[in-house]
Amino acid sequence: MSIDKSKIIECCICKKDIEPQFLGNDGDGKPVYWYGGNNAEPIHDGWCCNPCNQIVLAERMASIRIAQWEKNQ
């Protein structure tokens, strides 16, 4: 089994195709892929590719730091 191109979705941030992630082989030795990408919240409502996920993670970390700073004020 190879990558099923009909399952590939578009990144909601950069609009490029999300590259499927190889998860390993199933019990029969067939490759298994994850086609869902990453949760793009809080940048966008939807799914994003790995490069855009770096932006999402940075935004999440910044939000946490701001919340911590505001709590200490």
Q: Per-residue confidence at 12, pLDDT binned at 50, 70, 90?
A: very high
What's this model's pTM, rounded to 2 decimal places?
0.83
pLDDT per position as a tens digit, 21-50: 999 999 999 999 999 999 999 999 999 999
Phi, psi of 22 (to 5 degrees): -75, 125
Cα 5 versus chain centre, distance: 18
Local structure of 58: helix, strand or coil? helix
Closest Cα partner for 44 from 65, 63, 59? Answer: 59
